[in-house]
Amino acid sequence: MSIDVFDDVRFEGALTIALEKSGLSWRQAGYQRGELHFHILVKELSSNLSVGIEVNSSIRTDGISAGTGEDSIRAWIADQDGFPLGNKVQKWVTRVPGWEQRLLDMLSKLITMAQSINICPDCNEVEKVWIVKKDGANKGRIFKNCENGCAFIWLDEVEEDAPDCPNCQRPMVKRTGHKGDFWGCRGYPNCRGTRNIDGDEPHWKKLEREHETAKETNENGSNSVKQSLKDKIHSILPGTAKNQQVISKDKDFTPSPFQQAIFDWVSSPGKNLIVEAVAGSGKTTTGVKMLELVPANQRVLFVAFNKHIAKELAKRAPSHVRVTTYHSLGFKAVRQAYGKVDLDTRKVRRLLEVYFDRTQYSLISPVRQIVSLVKANLVEDLSYEGLSQLVNYYDIALNSDERTVYQAVEYVMAKCTANTNTIDFDDMCYFPIYHNLPMEKYDFIFIDEAQDTNKNQIELALKCAHDDTRIVACGDRYQSLYGFRGADVQAIPNLIESLSADTLPLSITYRNPKCVVSLVNERFPHIPLHAADWAEEGQLQTLPYSLALDRMASSDMVLCRNNAPLVRPAFALIRNGIKAVIRGRDIGKGLISLIRKMEADDVFDLSEKLVEYEDLEVTKLLLAKRSYAAQTIQDKVETILAIGNGCQYIHEVEDKIEEVFSDEVEGVVFSTVHKAKGLEADNVYILNPELMPSSYASETWELQQEENIEYVAYTRAMKTLTIVV
């Protein structure tokens, strides 16, 4: 059957008819990668965030759809900028006659899914739509979830007239258990709410009521009868207290002398403790076992550095422990103080767009950066001298505009702190400190990854303490990598001093082979890294690039200080049919934004404009002694140029970026060292080792961070570490 060729007028007519019943409208979103896109606004979540459908019409720049080649109209759930909300759940219809009706059916399904997306009420993150790509029983199924995993729902489980869950009010789905059919929550396993099919109370509720009645009518009744009822309830409700274990019953865990010293401290009257843990030393396991020793009647808080860690810890921590991130912790205090607030990630930018005239818009970026650092560092002195000290420390280029920028910072801080109805992510942590908001108090507080925290985050956690609270912070000062974005590079020494804390080490790495430990001991003798007694010798080798490329296989990790050197080998593997990804969807999104900023006509024009942009920006930044920022610009440009090699059209470059940049950890994983923190692999390759340390680093703290980067790179390897030359 031949492909139907149409123009934009005919397609817009079909789109209008397809949306007629829904009451939604479309707008042209311009040409992207050489094809005309349309955007359908489905719902607004906040003043600056919406959910919609992005439609690729397949219409080319000549106004006509192609007669050959790509023969489908594609659409996906997207944010207001057209970027996929999730991992691009894409649907398509072929452009054979009758495509108009198929377009209507496709959009109807996507709109239904998009209408279900909300802001997660538990963590205030936007829900996204995902498709299961890994092989297995669920491959191809579609679900929605927030980043923290507290809003999981299968979207292909649809029941007519399904009741709402009694626990979380989500729609329910019909399930079958060993007692027969029942309504179960679509959010299972995060929510275990159930209802009977006939609308009565769940059968396990009846068992509980039966048990309570028996207890009231016969205080001295048979223990065996009561136990039988309890056993029935436990068989229906997995995960109850019957299955919980404490450390003394965990026969598979034998603590090291370092871990035992920490557990002994928990059982002693010690007030505060800093655990200095090396890479791969079992910080998470030690933390979980430590929390199991804290009495269940105490209020316990575990503050995780990011959402991924919080999600994993929530599965393992005892039920009486609250696991949260700093943003969730602060946001809860803000909501309790001010009620419902709007999240606007562009809050500061909107203030500056009013404050500056258009000729000064180039100052918006440095002002936003300074405002964020003011909040992260809890800077109170906004005078010229106070802000100059901050700017000089972080190498922020202002040229001759210091006073204009500092006045704008002062203006934004005043407006930002006065507006408590709208917040951005920085405000979530900053407002509870700045406005001295009341926060819940805990008896025991555990601070994870302390080396990557900023002063605002530490103060936020400590604000949850009362006079008798015991505080434990765990981290590795030599894995501190994020000083450039506001982390306190002296976080651990400062905590030891301010808390008058005891210190205990976790010095045995359960990850690295002996050869890697020996390398670290030789390169960094001040780092107390010791191999486990049972550790393998492992292999430390140097290989030329071509031979290393031939040996790279699935599950291997390839690291580099910068992104650009990762591109060539990643695409070489892809061309050979080997799955490869470069860690960082956010990096890919930033590269595409930079490409579109160039407004180039083709790849040749793009290359010329990027080189010109790099020369200008890097020169300005180096003159202003902003070496790290200069390196970032250079790396972005070199990465795009490497990806664009061999491409003719700009949309090909963008396609390749979307293809290779991912947050998935599968195939051969290419990553910068920063993105690889917390990951590990049997076989690790290090590209361009001469980039560590960076030649751009000059300040004392920058040089220390570069040394930390090298240490983190080496300690990802579990069996073999290969230096590629």
CATH code of the domain covering residue 447: 3.40.50.300
Tell me, yes or no, whether 388 and 305 share the same domain: no
Binned at pLDDT 50, 70 and 90, residue 404 comes out as very high
What is the structure's pLDDT at 531?
A: 93
Tell me, yes or no, whether 529 and 669 share the same domain: yes
The secondary element (H helix, E strand) that includes residue 582 is strand 580-583
Q: Are 582 and 572 in contact (CB under 8 A)?
A: no
Q: Is residue 686 part of a domain?
A: yes
Binned at pLDDT 50, 70 and 90, residue 237 comes out as very low
Q: Which amino acid is at 717?
A: A
Q: How many C-beta atoms lie closer than 10 Å to residue 528's C-beta?
A: 14
What is the structure's pLDDT at 157?
A: 60
C-alpha separations of 627 from 10, 566, 687, 699 in Å: 53, 22, 22, 10
What is the structure's pLDDT at 217?
A: 52
Percent of the chain with pLDDT over 90: 39
Mean pLDDT over 360-367 rounds to: 87
Tell me, yes or no, whether 483 and 359 share the same domain: no
Q: Please give the distance of CA 23 from its chain centroid, rounded to a whole number.
A: 35
Domain extent for 631 = 524-724
Average pLDDT along the chain: 83
Starting at the earlier edge strand, list the strands of the sheet with 580-583: 539-543, 717-724, 681-686, 557-560, 668-672, 580-583, 661-662
Q: Is residue 130 part of a domain?
A: no
Tell me, yes or no, whether 386 and 327 share the same domain: no
What is the structure's pLDDT at 238?
A: 34
Beta strands (DSSP E) in 380-535 are 422-423, 442-447, 465-475, 502-506, 508-509, 530-531
Q: What length does the chain have?
A: 725
Mean pLDDT over 329-334 rounds to: 94
What is the structure's pLDDT at 116?
A: 84
More confident residue, 189 or 285: 285
Q: Is residue 136 part of a domain?
A: no
Residue 438 tokens read as: 């009341």
Mean pLDDT over 580-603 rounds to: 86
DSSP assignment, residue 23? T
Say if residue 659's pLDDT is above 50. Answer: yes
Mean pLDDT over 610-638 rounds to: 83
More confident residue, 18 or 189: 18
More confident residue, 723 or 139: 723
What is the gyration radius of the CA atoms in the chain, in angstroms? Answer: 28
Distance CA 285, CA 255 (A): 10
Q: Which of 89, 117, 145 is a domain's end point?
A: 117
Tell me, yes or no, whether 91 and 108 share the same domain: yes
Q: Is residue 307 part of a domain?
A: yes
Q: Are 630 and 680 in contact (CB under 8 A)?
A: no
Mean pLDDT over 461-474 rounds to: 95
Binned at pLDDT 50, 70 and 90, residue 433 comes out as very high
Binned at pLDDT 50, 70 and 90, residue 440 comes out as very high
Q: Range with the lowest mean pLDDT among 34-38, 171-175, 506-510?
A: 171-175
Q: What is the DSSP string of 82-142?
A: S-BSBS--EEEEE-STTHHHHHHHHHHHHHHHHHT--B-TTT-PBPEEEE--SSSTTTT-E
Vertex 294 angle, CA 508 and 439, to 5°: 105
The DSSP bridge partners found for residue 128 are 145
Q: Is residue 18 part of a domain?
A: yes
Q: Is residue 52 part of a domain?
A: yes
Helix, coil or strand: residue 73 = strand
Q: Is residue 541 part of a domain?
A: yes
DSSP assignment, residue 239? T
What is the structure's pLDDT at 544?
A: 94
Mean pLDDT over 92-103 rounds to: 85
More confident residue, 224 or 528: 528
Helix, coil or strand: residue 642 = helix
Q: How many C-beta atoms lie closer than 10 Å to residue 568's C-beta?
A: 14
Q: Which of 93, 117, 141 is a domain's end point?
A: 117
Binned at pLDDT 50, 70 and 90, residue 248 comes out as very low
pLDDT, tens only, 1-31: 567 888 888 999 999 999 988 889 999 988 8
Q: Range with the lowest mean pLDDT among 23-27, 64-68, 407-411, 608-612?
A: 64-68
CATH, residue 540:
3.40.50
Mean pLDDT over 360-371 rounds to: 89
Q: Are 584 and 674 in contact (CB under 8 A)?
A: no
Query: Buried b / exposed e across 325-353, counting CB within 10 Å, b at 16+?
Result: bbbbbbbbbbeebeeebbbbeebbbebbe
Percent of the chain with pLDDT over 70: 85
Contacts of 621 (CB under 8 A, 6+ apart): 397, 627, 629, 630, 633
What is the structure's pLDDT at 269?
A: 80
What is the structure's pLDDT at 242?
A: 35
Mean pLDDT over 238-259 rounds to: 55
DSSP assignment, residue 150? S
Say if residue 33's pLDDT is above 80. Answer: no
What is the structure's pLDDT at 240?
A: 34
Q: Are 719 and 683 in contact (CB under 8 A)?
A: yes
Look up the pTM and report it: 0.61
C-alpha separations of 316 from 591, 631, 679 in Å: 37, 40, 19
What is the structure's pLDDT at 188?
A: 67
Tell me, yes or no, whether 684 and 599 share the same domain: yes
Binned at pLDDT 50, 70 and 90, residue 63 comes out as confident
Say if residue 296's pLDDT is above 70. Answer: yes
Say if residue 401's pLDDT is above 90. Answer: no
Residue 189 preceded by cis peptide, ω within 30: yes
Say if residue 249's pLDDT is above 50. Answer: no
Q: Range with the lowest mean pLDDT among 1-10, 256-265, 408-417, 422-431?
A: 1-10
Distance CA 377, CA 284 (A): 27
DSSP assignment, residue 452? G
Distance CA 270, CA 48 (A): 48
Tell me, yes or no, whether 319 and 364 share the same domain: no
Say if residue 159's pLDDT is above 70. Answer: no
Mean pLDDT over 637-657 rounds to: 88
Tell me, yes or no, whether 622 and 695 share the same domain: yes
Q: Are strands 128-131 and 90-94 parallel, antiparallel or unpaired?
A: unpaired
The sign of the CA dihedral 366, 367, 372, 373 is positive
Mean pLDDT over 281-300 rounds to: 90
Tell me, yes or no, whether 568 and 699 share the same domain: yes
Say if residue 234's pLDDT is above 50. Answer: no
The secondary element (H helix, E strand) that includes residue 154 is strand 153-154
Helix, coil or strand: residue 596 = helix
Distance CA 307, CA 317 (A): 15
What is the structure's pLDDT at 140?
A: 76
Distance CA 292, CA 268 (A): 15
Residue 269 preceded by cis peptide, ω within 30: no
Tell me, yes or no, whether 275 and 389 share the same domain: no
Query: Buried b / exposed e across 484-509, counting CB within 10 Å, b at 16+?
Result: bebbbbbbbeebbeebebeebbbbbb
- CA-nearest of 541, 313, 299 to 443 is 299
Say if residue 225's pLDDT is above 50. Answer: no
Q: Range with the lowest mean pLDDT among 284-298, 420-434, 696-710?
A: 696-710
Distance CA 73, CA 103 (A): 8
What is the structure's pLDDT at 299?
A: 94
Mean pLDDT over 351-379 rounds to: 91
Q: Which amino acid is at 434?
A: Y
Q: Which of 85, 117, 149 is a domain's end point?
A: 117
Q: How many domains does the chain have?
A: 4
Mean pLDDT over 340-353 rounds to: 90
Q: Which amino acid is at 172?
A: M
Q: What is the four-CA torsion angle of 570, 573, 577, 579, rounded to 10 degrees?
A: -50
Query: Buried b / exposed e across 199-235, counting CB within 10 Å, b at 16+?
Result: eeebbbeebbeebeeeeeeeeeeeeeeeeebeebbee
- CA-nearest of 484, 490, 488 to 394 is 484
What is the structure's pLDDT at 90?
A: 76
What is the structure's pLDDT at 718?
A: 95
Q: Is residue 330 part of a domain?
A: yes
Tell me, yes or no, whether 628 and 610 share the same domain: yes
pLDDT, tens only, 519-570: 999 999 999 999 998 999 999 999 999 999 999 998 999 999 998 899 889 9
More confident residue, 162 or 610: 610
Tell me, yes or no, whether 591 and 638 share the same domain: yes
- CA-nearest of 709, 209, 172, 164 to 489 is 709
